[in-house]
Amino acid sequence: MKYKEWLNEWLDYYVKSTTKERTYNKYRRIVENHITPALGNYEMDELTANVLQRFTVNLTEKGLSANTVNVFLSVIKSSLRRAVLFGITDKEYSSAIVRPKVREKRVECFSKDEQKKIESYISAKDKPKLFGIVLCLYTGLRIGELLALEWSDIDLSKGTISISKTCQDSWINGQYVKAIDTPKTECSQRTIPIPKQLMARIKDQRKLANGSFVISGKSAYGIGVRSYQRTFETLLKNLNIPHKGFHSLRHTFATRALECGMDIKTLSEILGHTNASITLKRYAHSMLEHKTEMMNRVGKFLL
């Protein structure tokens, strides 16, 4: 059996029935666009460690990031392990691949002055959809969580936001559509207390709502991820603030929280991380100023 034949069987009979639709669609795109063109015509027993290693090196030489290459390799590994279990091939060599090393991305956040400029700009504009940017700055929501957020998820009496879903732009029938699904992990489903200083603005937004989504723009259906990212990019350009990705709003929230003295465990739960060690590793650099202040306090005891 050729590898491309097994990949189609694996996708349709094993991946599709056991994963979310977005995961299945992602895997199929990877298979059709990258794996099948390079490896599809190999017989199953021809997929040696050397063949797989050459494929890995070629991906890296094309300029693909280590993260992207490792996702492709994980798809190959999963498909080949299933093939061994079902007797399609005797052995698989994915574990022998020397994978590119993933480097932790530097966390980028906005300075306090940049944050003030962003908030002042949004406050002066009569555009309700921009409020989502402020909401992310004070809750740490991911963009998918923000755009999937409905008014029924906000309890104004308790002052809380319940995160139980996310969204992404999915390529379906030749076009991008807004697809809503449950979060990737259980920890991502969480309840976030709303800062009391933000409550009045949220209530004002509720009065202006034209649909069930908190961020809806002109459409009651809501806004797509890429569209909202472009809105954010335009805002930064108008303010002459160096470009940073939308996720930097989440990093900014986490950094400000640490600067205010929030403990790592609480911050981890608000961000929806699997455990506090992830939060600590990602934002350790943000604590340097706080550490310096604490050390200076200790230093006061010196004669």
Same domain for 252 and 119, yes or no, is yes
User: Looking at the domain assignment, is residue 254 inside a domain?
Assistant: yes
User: Looking at the domain assignment, is residue 106 inside a domain?
Assistant: no
Of 36, 70, 96, which marks where a domain is finished? 96
* Sign of the dihedral defined by the CA atoms of residues 107, 113, 114, 119, in that order: positive
User: Looking at the domain assignment, is residue 157 inside a domain?
Assistant: yes
Which CATH number do you get for residue 29? Answer: 1.10.150.130
Count of domains in the chain?
Answer: 2
Same domain for 8 and 51, yes or no, is yes
Same domain for 159 and 270, yes or no, is yes
- Rounded Cα–Cα distance for residues 202 and 108 (Å): 27
- Determine the pLDDT at residue 285: 72
User: Looking at the domain assignment, is residue 269 inside a domain?
Assistant: yes
Question: Do the beta carbons of residue 173 and residue 200 sit within 8 Å?
Answer: no
Of 71, 96, 121, which marks where a domain is finished? 96
User: Looking at the domain assignment, is residue 302 inside a domain?
Assistant: no
**From residue 63, how far is each of 8, 68, 106 by CA, in Å?**
27, 10, 19
- Rounded Cα–Cα distance for residues 122 and 128 (Å): 9
- Rounded Cα–Cα distance for residues 253 and 198 (Å): 14
- Rounded Cα–Cα distance for residues 19 and 3 (Å): 21
Q: Tokens 């340097």 correspond to what residue?
A: 288
User: Looking at the domain assignment, is residue 299 inside a domain?
Assistant: no
The radius of gyration computed from the CA coordinates of the chain, to the nearest angstrom, equals 23
Question: Do the beta carbons of residue 31 and residue 40 sit within 8 Å?
Answer: no
Of 96, 130, 147, which marks where a domain is finished? 96
- pTM for the complete prediction? 0.78
Residues recorded for the chain: 303
Same domain for 84 and 175, yes or no, is no
Residues 36, 37, 40: CA angle, nearest 5 degrees:
40
- Determine the pLDDT at residue 173: 65
User: Looking at the domain assignment, is residue 300 inside a domain?
Assistant: no
- Determine the pLDDT at residue 84: 94
Same domain for 67 and 214, yes or no, is no
Same domain for 92 and 154, yes or no, is no
Token pair for 159: 């002052």
User: Looking at the domain assignment, is residue 303 inside a domain?
Assistant: no
What are the pLDDT tens digits along the chain (303 aa)? 999 999 999 999 999 988 888 788 889 999 999 999 999 999 999 999 999 999 999 999 998 989 899 999 999 999 999 999 999 999 999 889 999 887 767 778 999 999 999 999 999 987 889 999 999 999 999 999 999 999 999 999 999 999 999 988 776 666 667 778 888 788 899 999 999 999 999 999 998 888 899 998 666 567 889 999 999 999 999 999 999 999 999 999 999 998 888 999 999 999 999 999 989 888 877 667 677 777 888 887 775
Same domain for 143 and 286, yes or no, is yes
* Sign of the dihedral defined by the CA atoms of residues 285, 289, 293, 295, in that order: positive
- Determine the pLDDT at residue 180: 84
**From residue 69, how far is each of 52, 61, 63, 134, 284 by CA, in Å?**
12, 11, 10, 35, 27
Name the residue range of residue 285's domain.
112-292
Same domain for 131 and 158, yes or no, is yes
Which CATH number do you get for residue 138? Answer: 1.10.443.10
